[in-house]
């Protein structure tokens, strides 16, 4: 018997919490090398991009009713992209590389922006991820999908350690105590799970009439945000890197391919489920 969506959401939230804490914990034991960081970022960015296109977008379009559904979806995708661009412009929080090479090139945002602003930007960006996770699991609850929200969970699961690594890494550079870094790490790790659970329960309280259109808009808003998050990791490095092009492109392709493979598995499972009825 398959696990119910609330149980799956609890499992997803727990896994994301642990992954985020682990990412912050790793910063206490030295920074990753520049090359490894960029390869991981390329893979994760490709996976997030694939999840946005192959998972969030189709589910979002299905939930937006009316003859102007595509226009509505396009508008909310743009809202998501603009919202994330504004956050990046105001807080400049998407910095994951604290290697010696990145520091030598002046690419660590801890030196250019206040720690509070970076933490606030990451927090707001995490709220978007949590809402996307809660909405995607709610869609699975309505449609009786197999492992609803798995792709979105994995995208957040892979990306969250990088964000937590950024926060604790910047705090370490700024001279904050180990206790303060631990408290910030735990607090940040809780944001996404709490928002995911809240968005899931909140959508259920709205009732079926309001639930569908609202979830659809939330999902396509997340499409814009996820695409922006992915490209904010990828595009700057295209100009920064003149080496390791093959490795970085391969990591990107693997990430996108994994997202598409999950989409195919989900599609086959849904088709088999409908065939049994």
Q: Cα separation of 99 and 35, whole Å?
A: 9
> Which residues in the chain belong to E strands, given as ranges?
none
What pTM was computed for the model?
0.81
Rounded to whole angstroms, what are the CA distances from 119 to 116, 166, 176, 255, 258?
Answer: 5, 9, 14, 27, 30
Per-residue pLDDT tens over the stretch 17-38: 999 999 888 877 766 677 778 8
pLDDT score for 178: 87
Query: Cα dist. 237→37, 57, 168, 214, 232 in Å?
Result: 11, 26, 23, 36, 9
Q: Give the mean pLDDT of 265-271.
A: 72
Structure tokens at 127: 């709220």
pLDDT digits (tens, 9 = 90+) for 167-201: 888 888 778 888 988 999 999 999 999 999 998 88
Count of residues making up the chain: 277
- Rounded Cα distance between 57 and 104, Å, is 39
Find, among 87, 91, 86, 89, the residue nearest to 113 by Cα. Answer: 91
Supply angle C-alpha 181, 123, 25, rounded to 5.
30
* Cα 242 to Cα 8, 105, 195, 267, distances in angstroms: 43, 14, 39, 39
Could you give the percent of the chain with pLDDT greater than 70?
77
Place of tokens 């919490």: 17
DSSP 149: T
Determine the average pLDDT of the residues in 140-146: 59
């Amino acid at each position: 018997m398959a696990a119910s969506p609330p149980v799956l959401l609890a499992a997803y939230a727990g896994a994301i919490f642990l992954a985020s804490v682990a990412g912050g914990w790793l910063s206490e034991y030295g920074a990753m090398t520049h090359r490894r960081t960029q390869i991981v970022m390329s893979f994760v960015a490709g996976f997030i991009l694939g999840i946005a296109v192959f998972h969030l977008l189709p589910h979002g379009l299905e939930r937006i009713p009316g003859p102007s559904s595509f226009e509505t979806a396009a508008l909310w995708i743009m809202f998501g992209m603009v919202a994330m661009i504004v956050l990046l412009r105001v807080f400049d929080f998407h910095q994951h590389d604290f290697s010696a090479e990145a520091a030598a090139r002046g690419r660590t945002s801890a030196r250019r922006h206040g720690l509070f602003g970076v933490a606030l930007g990451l927090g707001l960006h995490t709220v978007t991820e949590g809402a996307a996770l809660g909405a995607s699991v709610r869609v699975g609850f309505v449609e009786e999908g197999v492992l609803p929200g798995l792709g979105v969970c994995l995208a957040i699961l892979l990306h969250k350690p990088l964000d937590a690594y950024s926060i604790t890494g910047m705090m370490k550079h700024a001279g904050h105590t180990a206790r303060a870094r631990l408290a910030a790490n735990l607090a940040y790790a809780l944001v996404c799970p709490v928002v995911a659970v809240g968005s899931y329960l909140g959508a259920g309280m709205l009732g079926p009439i309001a639930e569908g259109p609202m979830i659809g808009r939330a999902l396509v808003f997340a499409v814009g945000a996820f695409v922006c998050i992915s490209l904010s990791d990828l595009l700057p490095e295209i100009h920064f890197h003149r080496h390791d092009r093959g490795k970085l492109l391969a990591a990107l392709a693997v990430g996108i391919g994994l997202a598409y493979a999950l989409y195919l598995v989900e599609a086959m499972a849904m088709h088999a489920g409908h065939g049994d009825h």
